[in-house]
Amino acid sequence: MIDSLKHLPKAGGTEAELAAQFTDLAPPLNARQAAIEAARCLYCYDAPCTRICPSQIDVASFIRNIHEGNVQGAAAGILKQNILGGSCARVCPTEILCEDKCVRNHDAEGQPVKIGLLQRYALDNAHFKQHPFQRAPRTGKQVAVVGAGPAGLACAHRLAMLGHDVVIFEAREKAGGLNEYGIAKYKLTEDFAQQEVAFLLEIGGIELRFGQKLGENLRLSDLRAAYDAVFLGLGLAASRALGLTGEDAPGLVAAVDYIAELRQAQDLASLPVPRRAIVIGAGNTAIDMAVQIKRLGAEEVHLVYRRGFADMGATWHEQEIAKANQVQMHVWAAPREVLLEGGQVAGMRFEKTRMEGGKLALTGDCFDIAADAVFKAIGQTTGALPAELARSGDKIEVDAQFRTSVAGVYAGGDCVAPGQDLTVQAVQHGKLAAAAIDHDIQKKEAA
């Protein structure tokens, strides 16, 4: 457990009682519900839902298959474009992507087709006797993939399909990346992330090596020398700092660290839970943290953001989840001071903000919120990167084919710019990078 929180009391209730708080956020559709929902789709010829999908899933086609009773066909069509379609069906912000563009999402009807739930239905109810995709003849080429998150896994799977052998180097003990360690437990329940990884590996030709971290026991130069190409799917490993005195005091931790502990906990009752908590941030991670700590038994949870609701990174759907779980949301307030008592966190002082001339300004008006723990969810960075890689800000710079500035090295997912930090986009990055790697290897071979 995180040392910074060991002074806090353990969660109240038994493991069974707490586990009941982390069942599916959106229960799956049954066969009748799926049939009724699929019948609502108009199968638009220009399919705006497909055009907005980052992984280019043919939405109208898979829904038509469900309507016609061809669940296997629906699932195969989804997986062809997104091998992690099961997790994406659960965590993808469909409310701002495919469902937002659904032609039924208008004032008169106001209810788009439930595309995310239909995608989950297809993949949960398909039963493949063997992996639905076969490998091409082996090329004899080997590619190194650094990071077993969505981008790295998608890249490895597509490369294996194309006949290349792949070795994935992962720093942690399990594959899955964000899906395994960073998503709210009520979104990806039980061991779904590991089930999805196991299914993906059935393609063959992929080896996983754990405890391998770039910059520590793994060097980019060594990988370039040993492999025909290298793909970096590093994710975002380092939490940003608040830059305040007392930030290292017991009781102040990164939200992602707590979420990872929560997702890996064998007994939820063993987790430390503050009676009063503050979450600083406005993205999906901040919402996930606030909701989960409330469900674990915190009496008061305050989410504080320096701008307004309209500027939040979390979608309106995520904000509604927070409100439904009695999270108190404060906007136009910036953290100014960590309040300590006996060397431990006792709260946080905030200063009210406002917009002046198009810029955020402090007003000088401060207020305090008492808390036993503060969780920062103000974004993450890639951390230390190999010096030879060109960067855009704190992320890796890539071209349209996800090539980096270093020959033979490619990158995708959250570690590259530009990006939306979405699982579905990371999958697409990995898939497209694999196509570029295959093209470049063939071109080099021909030359």
- What pLDDT, in 10s, does the model give residues 270-312? 999 999 999 999 999 999 999 999 999 999 999 999 999 999 9
Predicted local confidence at residue 353, as pLDDT: 98
CA distance 125 to 176: 22
CA distance 184 to 301: 16
Say which DSSP state 187 is in.
T
Q: Which H or E element spans position 35?
A: helix 31-39
Q: Which CATH architecture has domain 142-236+382-446?
A: 3-Layer(bba) Sandwich (3.50)
CA distance 294 to 324: 11
CATH number of 26-125: 1.10.1060.10
Predicted local confidence at residue 436, as pLDDT: 98
Domain range list for the chain: 26-125, 142-236+382-446, 239-380
CA distance 278 to 281: 10
Token digits for 339? Answer: 């309040």
Predicted local confidence at residue 294, as pLDDT: 98
Predicted local confidence at residue 419, as pLDDT: 65
Question: What does the pLDDT profile of the chain (447 residues) look like in tens digits?
Answer: 688 999 999 998 899 999 999 999 889 999 999 999 999 999 998 999 999 999 999 999 999 999 999 999 999 999 999 999 999 999 999 999 999 999 999 877 779 999 999 999 999 999 998 899 999 999 999 999 999 999 999 999 999 999 999 999 999 999 999 999 999 999 999 999 999 999 999 999 999 999 999 999 999 999 999 999 999 999 997 889 999 999 999 999 999 999 999 999 999 999 999 999 999 999 999 999 999 999 999 999 999 999 999 999 999 999 999 999 999 999 999 999 999 999 999 999 999 999 999 999 999 999 999 999 999 999 988 888 999 999 998 899 999 999 999 999 999 999 998 767 789 999 999 999 999 999 999 998 887
Q: Name the nearest CA neighbour of 415 among 389, 437, 376.
A: 389
Angle between helices 284-295 and 316-324 (to 10 degrees): 20
At residue 53, the 3 state secondary structure works out as: coil
Domain 142-236+382-446 and domain 239-380 have a common topology: yes
Q: Which H or E element spans position 340?
A: strand 333-341
CA distance 20 to 40: 33
Predicted local confidence at residue 63, as pLDDT: 97
Say which DSSP state 218 is in.
B
| CATH 3.50.50.60 correct for 239-380 | yes
Report in angstroms the alpha-carbon separations of 161 from 185, 269, 439.
31, 43, 14
